[in-house]
Every structure is written in C-alpha cells, then in structure tokens.
C-alpha cells in the first residue's frame, strides 16, 4: 500500500471514529457517510425517507463533496427545498477503487471545511 493510501486510510478511520462520537455509532462505510452528508445538506432534519429519497440524498452528497474539486455546482433548490446540482467539469475515468478514493478524499474535505474538523495522516 502506498504511503498516501495509508494516510487516506488513517484519516478515514479518524472520521469514522469522530462521527461515531457525534451520532452514537460509527458509520460502517462510505455510503453511510454519504447518506449523513445528504441529510445534512437537505437541512430538513431527521425523518424517515423513502427508498427514492435515500437515493436522492446520496446524489446530493456526492455532488456536494465533488463540488469542492470543481466537478459540480449548486443550481438552486426546488419547491420542496431539495438542492439541484449541475456538472461543470467531467469526472475522470477511474476504476472503482480510484472512484472510492476520490470520494473519500472529498468527504474528508467536506468535514474539514463544513465542520472545521482536522484529520491527521
């Protein structure tokens, strides 16, 4: 494993531990953390979501975290208050492992910028 991969893994584990302290249990994977980001970005509080809404929350989170790297920008909110994003730069053609690494790095950036959290590699 490369040094930068080890650093990413250490920072990722720190995020999972910190979220566990905040919400009472450690999120098990990237999807769980993306769901939490989606709920946060929607801003409608804790409630029950339909399967389709959960998919939309994941999309909101992915667009939000990738906006830090310049791939998406917020277009606005619809009449129900759901954010809508547009792609402004094409995503690189990565394999699944590289896609996951990109998302993890951007999720860490999200928590550093939005919450002021610091993660040490």
pLDDT exceeds cutoff 80 at 1: no
User: What are the tens digits of pLDDT across the range 11-57?
Assistant: 999 999 999 999 999 999 999 999 999 999 999 988 999 999 999 99
Helix %, strand %, coil % of the chain (to 5)? 60, 10, 30
Which pLDDT band holds residue 3 (cuts at 50, 70, 90)? confident
Residues 6+ apart with CB under 8 A from 99: none
Residue 54 CB neighbour total at 10 angstroms: 15
Which pLDDT band holds residue 82 (cuts at 50, 70, 90)? very high
User: What are the tens digits of pLDDT across the range 86-118?
Assistant: 999 999 999 999 999 999 999 999 999 999 999
Which pLDDT band holds residue 63 (cuts at 50, 70, 90)? very high
């Amino acid at each position: 494993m490369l040094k930068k991969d080890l650093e990413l893994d250490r920072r990722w584990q720190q995020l999972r531990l910190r979220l566990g302290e905040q919400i009472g249990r450690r999120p098990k994977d990237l999807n769980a953390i993306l769901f939490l980001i989606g709920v946060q970005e929607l801003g409608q509080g804790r409630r029950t979501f339909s399967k389709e809404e959960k998919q939309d929350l994941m999309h909101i989170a992915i667009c939000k975290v990738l906006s830090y790297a310049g791939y998406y920008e917020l277009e606005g909110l619809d009449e129900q208050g759901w954010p809508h994003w547009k792609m402004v730069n094409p995503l690189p053609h990565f394999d699944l492992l590289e896609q996951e690494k990109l998302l993890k790095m951007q999720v860490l950036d999200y928590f550093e910028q939005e919450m002021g959290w610091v993660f040490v590699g």
